């Protein structure tokens, strides 16, 4: 959001921030080549010294940050927050603090747009993974919002345009209409005051490859960049931008264990949902917090019971490592408290803390749920600037549960995770940035780095550091 028109449009602001990160602050090496002629042309972003990637997505012209590959929850949280701090540092360096605000959220309350916080997991997949087995994961993904949801004021109703887009619309916004097979209109829904998920109202499919206007839980992908040893990237679209580190870590930790169960063939059809997408919205909108669901076999259950069954199965992995044990303990204590009193989890879950903040504002201003000012309060919870954010205000007061320390975050701005290929990639980026004859031509991707015309470094295994890799020709 740009508050001063003299600074230009939001699109110009994100370009300025991106350029500042790479050219002024020298936090990474900008792409010299186009990764995608439409969505990521040359110099639209690049890889960072901390192993992550920062770029401007041509669809909507917004900043996106992809964390480095990580194997621990603390590294993930620190690397994620480090990306936010880079953006804040760039805004300050440009002298735009207080005039440009960047938000880590997943819905445009007034425009009706939604954007995800995507998750990527390396999963062993057979050929029938997307046609069969992945359906066993859907009940878990639908119900995990009871602890992973970030909360939102109000809702949206989706409708059909009833016709294909006009030629004028396509001509003015060509990128928006690439690979679109389903279009919908969006209108405010005043029937719901507050819900768990920012995105539940917008999800149209369980799986979809064309996701610009076909929002889905999962986006199937088969890519060599993210494949290794019969493993493939599982791209989860139905994620949201958790501010609270506990909720973030629990979401990823629990999903990791659910995927281990799926790989080991230990999840059965017991909790398949009769209507997954209907349940997604009903759970999000349930003001009673009972979160009832109907199963495919016709019986009744609840989101907590679905999660509890997956958790019980995952107990077999206890002792694997510290993150697994932390996840199992945090998962159980959270489910127990959700049954007793969800509002007691304000220090751990975003949707609970946000609701408390919103209701406190309503009481102070003597307004109701219909007041548009609440959407601004909702949005300010997700401001990434610690000096402006409502979330960081409560974190500074010690009212949240942290997983990473502030020192971890600061170090993660320049240091990559030490146990993945991000480390070797970072070393080569540092060498590229140091200059030299050979470094004038380079190309960087997740699994390979090219320096000069003949030096190639390949990183096929995400779990190998490739530190001090010898080049091959």
**Residue 323: per-residue pLDDT:** 98
Q: In the 3-class helix/strand/coil scheme, how is 220-279 assigned residue by residue?
A: CCCCHHHCECCEEEEEECCCCCCCCHHHHHHHHHHHHHHHHHHHCCCCCCCCCECCHHHH
Backbone torsion region of residue 423, taken as left when φ is above 0, otherwise alpha when ψ lies between -120 and 50, otherwise beta: alpha
Element (H, E) at 193: strand 185-195
Q: Can you tell me the distance from the alpha carbon of 392 to that of 381, in angstroms, rounded to the nearest whole number? A: 8
Concerning whether 57 is annotated as a catalytic residue, the answer is yes
* Catalytic choice (24, 36, 57, 445): 57
- The residues near 16 (Cβ < 8 Å, ≥ 6 apart) are 8, 94, 96
Other CB atoms closer than 10 Å to residue 291's CB: what's the count?
23
Element (H, E) at 41: none
C-alpha distances in angstroms, 370 versus 71, 193, 366, 375? 43, 8, 12, 10
C-alpha distances in angstroms, 377 versus 87, 101, 242? 22, 14, 16
Do the beta carbons of residue 180 and residue 212 sit within 8 Å?
yes
**Residue 165: per-residue pLDDT:** 52
Do the beta carbons of residue 115 and residue 394 sit within 8 Å?
no
**In a structure prediction context, what are the per-residue pLDDT tens digits for the chain, which is 473 residues long?**
776 777 778 889 999 999 999 999 999 999 999 888 777 889 999 999 999 999 998 766 789 999 999 999 999 999 999 999 999 999 999 999 989 999 999 888 877 777 778 999 999 988 788 888 899 999 999 999 999 999 999 999 887 644 455 556 555 555 444 434 445 678 889 899 999 999 999 888 888 765 555 678 888 876 655 556 778 889 998 889 999 999 999 999 999 999 999 999 999 999 999 999 999 999 999 999 999 999 999 999 999 999 999 999 999 999 999 999 999 999 999 999 999 999 999 999 999 999 999 999 999 999 999 999 999 999 999 999 999 999 999 999 999 999 999 999 999 999 999 999 999 999 999 999 998 777 789 999 999 999 988 899 999 999 999 997 444 43
Site of tokens 């917008």: 202
Backbone torsion region of residue 289, taken as left when φ is above 0, otherwise alpha when ψ lies between -120 and 50, otherwise beta: left
DSSP string of 86-144, one letter each residue: HHHHHHHHTT-TTTB--B--SB-TTT--B----EEEEEE--TTTTTTGGGGGHHHHHHT
Backbone phi and psi for residue 166, each to the nearest 5 degrees, phi listed first: -70, 155
- The residues near 259 (Cβ < 8 Å, ≥ 6 apart) are 121, 123, 137, 234
Question: Three-state SS for 188?
Answer: strand
Taking alpha carbons only, the member of 196, 184, 447, 376 closest to residue 304 is 196
Lookup: tokens for 380: 């300010």
Q: Can you tell me the distance from the alpha carbon of 349 to that of 394, in angstroms, rounded to the nearest whole number? A: 13
Do the beta carbons of residue 248 and residue 334 sit within 8 Å?
no
DSSP string of 431-464, one letter each residue: HHHH--SGGGSEEEETTEEEETTTEEEE---TT-
- The residues near 299 (Cβ < 8 Å, ≥ 6 apart) are none
DSSP lists the bridge partners of residue 48 as 28
DSSP string of 60-76, one letter each residue: TTEEEEEPPP-SSHHHH
Q: Can you tell me the distance from the alpha carbon of 88 to that of 213, in angstroms, rounded to the nearest whole number? A: 30
Do the beta carbons of residue 237 and residue 116 sit within 8 Å?
yes
Taking alpha carbons only, the member of 58, 66, 55 closest to residue 19 is 55
**Residue 143: per-residue pLDDT:** 98
Lookup: tokens for 367: 């307004």
Q: Can you tell me the distance from the alpha carbon of 445 to that of 29, in angstroms, rounded to the nearest whole number? A: 11
What value does the CA radius of gyration of the chain take, rounded to a whole number of Å? 22
**Residue 188: per-residue pLDDT:** 87
DSSP string of 318-378, one letter each residue: TTS-HHHHHHHHHHHHHHHHHHH-GGGGTTT-HHHHHHHHHHHHHHHHT--TT-THHHHHH
Q: Can you tell me the distance from the alpha carbon of 248 to that of 253, in angstroms, rounded to the nearest whole number? A: 9
> How far from chain centre, in Å, is Cα 313?
26
């Amino acid at each position: 959001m740009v508050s001063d028109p003299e600074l230009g449009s939001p699109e110009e602001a994100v370009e300025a921030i991106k350029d500042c990160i790479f050219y002024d602050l020298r936090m990474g090496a900008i792409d010299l080549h186009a990764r995608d002629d439409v969505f990521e042309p040359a110099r639209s972003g690049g890889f960072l010294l901390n192993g992550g990637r920062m770029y401007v997505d041509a669809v909507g012209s917004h900043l996106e940050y992809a964390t480095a590959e990580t194997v621990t929850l603390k590294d993930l949280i620190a690397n994620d927050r480090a990306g936010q701090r880079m953006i804040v540092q760039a805004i300050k360096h440009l002298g735009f603090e207080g005039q440009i605000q960047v938000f880590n959220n997943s819905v445009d309350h007034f425009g009706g747009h939604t954007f995800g916080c995507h998750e990527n997991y390396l999963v062993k997949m057979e050929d029938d993974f997307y046609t069969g087995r992945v359906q066993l994961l859907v009940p878990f993904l639908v119900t995990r919002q009871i602890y992973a949801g970030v909360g939102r004021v109000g809702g949206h109703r989706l409708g059909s345009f009833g016709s294909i887009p006009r030629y004028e619309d396509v001509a003015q916004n060509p990128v928006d209409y690439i690979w679109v097979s389903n279009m919908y209109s969006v209108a405010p829904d005043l029937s719901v005051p507050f819900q768990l998920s920012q995105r539940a109202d917008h999800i149209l499919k369980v799986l979809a490859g064309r996701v610009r206007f076909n929002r889905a839980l999962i986006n199937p992908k088969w890519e060599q960049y993210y494949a290794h040893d019969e493993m493939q990237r599982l791209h989860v679209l139905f994620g949201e931008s958790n501010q609270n580190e506990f909720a973030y870590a629990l979401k990823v930790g629990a999903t990791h264990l659910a995927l281990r169960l799926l790989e080991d063939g230990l999840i059965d059809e017991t909790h398949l949902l009769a209507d997954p997408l209907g349940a997604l919205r009903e759970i999000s909108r349930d003001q009673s917090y009972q979160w009832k669901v109907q199963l495919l076999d016709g019986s009744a259950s609840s989101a907590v019971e679905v999660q509890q069954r997956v958790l019980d199965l995952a107990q077999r992995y206890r002792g694997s490592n510290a993150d697994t044990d932390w996840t199992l303990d945090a998962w159980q204590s959270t489910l127990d408290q959700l049954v007793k009193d969800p509002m007691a989890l304000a220090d751990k879950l975003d949707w609970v803390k946000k609701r408390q903040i919103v209701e406190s504002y309503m009481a102070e201003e003597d307004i109701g749920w219909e007041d548009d000012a609440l959407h601004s309060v909702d949005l300010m919870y997700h401001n990434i600037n610690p000096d402006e954010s409502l979330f960081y205000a409560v974190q500074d007061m010690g009212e949240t549960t942290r997983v990473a320390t502030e020192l971890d975050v600061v170090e993660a701005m320049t240091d990559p995770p030490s146990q993945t290929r991000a480390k070797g990639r970072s070393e080569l980026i540092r060498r590229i940035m140091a200059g030299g004859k050979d470094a004038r031509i380079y190309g960087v991707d997740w699994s390979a780095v090219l320096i000069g015309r003949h030096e190639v470094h390949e990183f096929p295994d995400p779990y190998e550091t490739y530190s001090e890799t010898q080049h091959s020709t």
